[in-house]
Structure 1
Amino acid sequence: MELGEAALTSMTTRYFTTDPVSDETLEQAFDYARHAPQGGNRQPVRFIVVRDEAKKQQLQEWYLEPWKAYLGMARSGDIEIVGEKANRLLDSADHFAEHFAEVPVIVVACGYIDGVHPTDTELGRLSVVGGGSIYPAVQNFLLGCREAGLGTALTTLLCMYEPQVAEMLDIPEGVATAAHIAVGYRSTPFPRKLDRLPLSEIVFDETWGNSTY
């Protein structure tokens, strides 16, 4: 599979089959992940593969609480979901939440806190730069899964339960949870095209708003 095909068809999967996913199938995706760029070659990212049914059930229980709160606000209009497909998107995401424990594999992406170097902590806004040494590895993993014919869904809701997740999975102090990734085979074919903003709205020439394309 060419990189372009993987990148342009790697949509979030919310309906999975129950077919098992072997370590051998995941190996190449993890190999891509470890080659991702990161600051100072510190290589802070670690992954935990979770298949245990009891652990996945616990993750689902934690996941459902913030998800249902978000869903309620989205249904009431307190949170705006943009687009004509908003209700279908919410229904799909709710199905995913209700069946979270049934996904064959949950991969927990972690990172050593002292292995990242955020340079935006003094700007009076949410710091995001530290993730630059973690999320490229996560994206490489997602693309590797797509190459292997696996669907994925990345969520950060469970990061709200980092202390509980850390205790359950024996994650040491000094390591943060950055994302949880559901991995399995899709119950429907991959799409041929994703719904995204045109380049004219996201790429600017020299100054903000001056479209390049």
Structure 2
Amino acid sequence: MRKLPAKLASRLYSAAELIAERGLDGTKIDDIADATGIPKATLYYHLEGKNGVLEFLLTDLLEMISGAVGLAMSSTEDAQTRLEAAVAAQLGVMLEHPFLCRALVGDLGRATRLPELAAALRSAFFEPIEQLLNDGVADGSLRQIEDPNAVATSIFGAITIAGLSAAVDGPLAEASMEATRLSAAVCDLILGGIASARDAGATNRA
């Protein structure tokens, strides 16, 4: 995928709604050209067709999430507080861009097979979260866990599914309020779990 000029990149967002509604298989390159005003030849030159358009849109979404999560993690607060901020940051970006999220839902299987996205996701989210988990043990705000990689993946999954579920209905009138609500619920699950105090004590003793 060649680097896309900023002027063309901004016009590609018009394709997100189209792909969200029809799925990539139901979207023709001619439809994307009509929706964006970008000639087919230009789309093929820069993006290698509609698969490249989807890859660009999802990579851009991931970069926005990475930036927001990175900023949330950069504070001097303890690891638990930074983890809560990271959850809120990712959900905030997702709900501000519901059509990008819906495009991801429609072609999740295809997206997960793109090696560039997998590598970007690793560096953008999994590695920082793993570091937070280790920092939390050091500062006493989080407990020791056996498999930080698996837990980081689970945290990302919980955030992502919550955000995608909220985004499937389209733009939200109060996206920031919904992000706050979902963030509280996800953090409650991540940090508090759902076991009763009695069952939690039994688990810890085991």
Same-fold call, TM cutoff 0.5: no
Q: Which TM-score tier does this pair reach, normalised by the shorter chain? A: under 0.3
TM-score by length of 1: 0.25
Q: Write 1 or 2 for the structure with the bigger share of helix.
A: 2
Q: Write 1 or 2 for the structure with the bigger share of strand.
A: 1
TM-score by length of 2: 0.25
Larger radius of gyration: 2
